[in-house]
Amino acid sequence: MMSRNRDYGRREVLRAGGIVLGGSVLSGSAAAADGDGSTTLTLLSYNDVQTAAAEDKKFPRLVTLIEQRRAAADGPVVVVGGGDQIGPHALSPVSQWRAPVDVLNEVGPDADVIGNHEFDYGLDAVSDVTEDSDFPWLATNLVDSDTGEAFDGTESTRVVEQDGVSVGIIGLVDEGATFGKTNIEFNERGLTLEDYTETGPAEAKRLKEDEGVDVVVALAHTGVPDAEALAEADADDDIDVVVVGDDELEYPPAEVSGSIVSEAQARANFLSEITLTVADGAVTSWEGELIPVTDDIEKDPTASDIINDYRAEVSLDSPVVETETALDATFSSNYHRETNYGNLITDAMRERADADVAITNAGGIRSDSVYGPGEITGGDVFNTLPFPNTLVTLELTGDELVETLESQIVTLESGGGQEFGEEVTQQVSGVRFEWVPHDDADELVRDVRVGGEPLDGDATYEVAVNSFMAGGGSGYPLGDKPVLAETGELLATTVVDYLEGKGTIAPRVEGRMQRVDRDLPDASVTVDGNGKVVCQFDAPDDVESVAEDTVDVWALDGEHLGAEKVVFDADERTLVVRVDDGDLAETVGDADDGDEIPLDLYAEYESSEFDHVYFERSRLNADVEAVVEQRGRGRNALAAR
């Protein structure tokens, strides 16, 4: 199973303070409310350990940091998790959930929440996870449809009593972390997902009124925006703290509508620490911060031993290939654009399946890291492809292939686009296309070519995907498509086998998925007599300036040529692009006299209309056709038109 967890950058805002007056947290210092009879409660939290569970790096250091902060606390300490701890990670094939659970048992948290990746091994396996855990897993609003109680292996709430302070803990998920990120049909399996904005506040009120708890902590595997919505829905301010997981943001503790909201990014990079002053059954003040897990923190030896013992079983530290270029496995790149690592993965899939096209979802590429240049180990590959997915080949018509590609386009104007920017959320091989990320676009995906040839909507194509996608995961419309073949081997194994036969690799971006915001009209093309081709375009109304170093002419095989000269005239509303015809001929490669070569010109520009969230600029496109002309001594040249 694969999620849409992303970390698009650091949130550089320091937040601290808060005094409760009339039930609402207001800004102030913790010391201001201290008085006789008060207790300082320390809440430590982490979330989305995921791939860090398979590495003897950050996770053992996080364990040490938790123990250090426990020892330094002036009063009781409660430790909680925000979900997505047991997957995905590179040790899944040999340990499934056991490696991270074994380490977390050393931590001894007071509770964790069931997140979408706790379902990575299936719904039935959740009871095995909870049985192996020395701490409770909460699912307050995902309940048995018949009884309304927590489903097998989970608990609805947990009350922790320490030094006279009573802390009630609830665990919440939203639709995105259940139906949206798993292939489990929860309703058919007898589970009901209740509205977290209703169940959460109601359960918090019950804990305070019926069980007399002093503090309520909501573990919300919902992402920050939904956690903020939870705080806003809690009209009586019964939820004191919301510990967030899922979207993996660096979100230091902040007051939101009477609750303290915090998320510690992911992969054991941070520990959230919130100190609450509790007096007369209420939180009277607070302070909080995110503490980075740095290399100067010693590793917990027991945690390191657990991880390394599992790693030894599968030789994850053995090198499989040498890369001359850095392999980009970061979330932001793979969700937004073509990457060289995405190309490598899908090339391996297509070769193994002997398929026409291969597609993998961006959420299936994990670790949020860059690998190389240098040696790449089997562990690196499993760390980036940690799910127990296999390779499946489907039969799709050309029209179905376009529908499949379009299902992953997030437009700029959509809610997701306004939050994260427009996205393509997939990586491909064997197919090339342009994507237009705007609600008013006639086509979200266009100019599709398979194997270099224009797509035939009625023809059938063999398309290799992972088993999660084949089942309809990540919103792919593939659940009912004919299955031609299944390898039965892990996708990570497929990629490792592919790399072992290479020796040295240098994958690159080839223009397989080209973003386009605006089209340029037909060009006026001239040849200046000095071996230069000059194209003049009328510029769209929203063009304010053109970034000259971004103007390139692309051939269908991924070769491209930068423009020699670019002139944008804002008064005349014209764009002039000049290229060398000899260099252009080398770009398109071997061709015969008279051949017509389709080319694409792309240019980034400042737009008066589009306000981008992720991309720096908008992007123009023009279709250019070049005709091969034979010149002396067999030399080819091109005249564009």
Q: What is the mean pLDDT of residues 146-169?
A: 96
Q: Which of 166, 61, 46, 181 is nearest to 119 (CA)?
A: 181
Chain mean pLDDT for the chain: 90
In a domain, 386, yes or no: yes
The SS3 call for residue 275 is strand
**pLDDT class of 8 with cuts at 50, 70, 90:** very low
Could you tell me the end-to-end alpha-carbon distance of the chain, in angstroms, rounded to an integer?
A: 48
In a domain, 381, yes or no: yes
Burial 478-496 (b: 16+ CB within 10 A, else e): beebeeeeebeebbbbbbb
Q: What is the pLDDT of residue 106?
A: 97
Q: Are residues 428 and 412 in the same domain?
A: yes
In this structure, are residues 425 and 506 in contact, taking their beta carbons and an 8 Å threshold?
A: no
Q: What is the pLDDT of residue 530?
A: 64
Q: Are residues 361 and 494 in the same domain?
A: yes
In a domain, 3, yes or no: no
Q: What is the pLDDT of residue 21?
A: 29
In a domain, 615, yes or no: yes
Q: pLDDT above 70 covers what percent of the chain?
A: 89
Given a cut of 70, whether residue 417 has pLDDT beyond it is yes
In a domain, 329, yes or no: yes
Q: What is the pLDDT of residue 314?
A: 72
Neighbours of 402 (CB within 10 A): 20
Query: How far is it, in rounded angstroms, from Cα 73 to Cα 472?
Result: 47
Q: What is the mean pLDDT of residues 350-360?
A: 98
In this structure, are residues 437 and 370 in contact, taking their beta carbons and an 8 Å threshold?
A: no
Q: What is the mean pLDDT of residues 366-372?
A: 93
Given a cut of 60, whether residue 559 has pLDDT beyond it is yes
**pLDDT class of 589 with cuts at 50, 70, 90:** low
The whole domain housing 351 covers 315-514
Q: Lowest mean pLDDT of 98-102, 200-204, 241-245, 381-385, name the range.
A: 381-385
**pLDDT class of 31 with cuts at 50, 70, 90:** very low
In this structure, are residues 114 and 142 in contact, taking their beta carbons and an 8 Å threshold?
A: yes
In a domain, 166, yes or no: yes
CATH of the domain at 531: 2.60.40
**pLDDT class of 4 with cuts at 50, 70, 90:** very low
Q: Lowest mean pLDDT of 31-40, 47-56, 281-290, name the range.
A: 31-40
Q: Are residues 482 and 622 in the same domain?
A: no
Q: What is the pLDDT of residue 93?
A: 72
The total number of residues shown for the chain amounts to 641
Q: Are residues 501 and 577 in the same domain?
A: no
Q: pLDDT above 90 covers what percent of the chain?
A: 78
Domain count, the chain: 3
**Higher pLDDT among residues 535 and 322, named by residue:** 322
What residue spans of 120-245 are helical by DSSP H? Answer: 126-132, 196-210, 224-233
In this structure, are residues 387 and 372 in contact, taking their beta carbons and an 8 Å threshold?
A: no
In a domain, 536, yes or no: yes
Q: What is the pLDDT of residue 580?
A: 85
- Strand spans (E) along 136-204: 137-138, 142-144, 157-162, 165-173, 191-193
Q: Are residues 101 and 43 in the same domain?
A: yes
Q: What is the pLDDT of residue 398?
A: 98
Q: What is the pLDDT of residue 588?
A: 64
Given a cut of 90, whether residue 486 has pLDDT beyond it is yes
Q: What is the pLDDT of residue 19?
A: 36
Name the domain boundary from 514, 530, 553.
514
Q: What is the pLDDT of residue 525?
A: 60
Name the domain boundary from 276, 307, 338.
307
**pLDDT class of 544 with cuts at 50, 70, 90:** very high
In a domain, 14, yes or no: no
Given a cut of 70, whether residue 246 has pLDDT beyond it is yes
CATH of the domain at 334: 3.90.780.10
Burial 67-97 (b: 16+ CB within 10 A, else e): eebeeebebbbbbbbbbbbbbbbbbbbbbbb
Residue 118 tokens, joined: 């706790």
**Higher pLDDT among residues 13 and 596, named by residue:** 596
Q: What is the pLDDT of residue 28?
A: 33
Q: Are residues 300 and 355 in the same domain?
A: no
The secondary structure element, H or E, covering residue 65 is helix 58-72
Query: How far is it, in rounded angstroms, from Cα 459 to Cα 478?
Result: 17
Q: Are residues 568 and 460 in the same domain?
A: no
Q: Are residues 480 and 609 in the same domain?
A: no
* 166-217 confidence digits (pLDDT tens): 999 999 999 999 998 888 999 999 999 999 999 999 999 999 999 999 999 9
Name the domain boundary from 485, 514, 543.
514
Q: Are residues 510 and 523 in the same domain?
A: no
* 297-346 confidence digits (pLDDT tens): 999 999 999 999 998 877 788 899 999 999 999 999 999 999 999 999 99
Q: Are residues 406 and 423 in the same domain?
A: yes
Q: Are residues 295 and 338 in the same domain?
A: no
Q: Are residues 181 and 66 in the same domain?
A: yes
In this structure, are residues 9 and 368 in contact, taking their beta carbons and an 8 Å threshold?
A: no
CATH of the domain at 234: 3.60.21.10
Query: How far is it, in rounded angstroms, from Cα 180 to Cα 117?
Result: 12
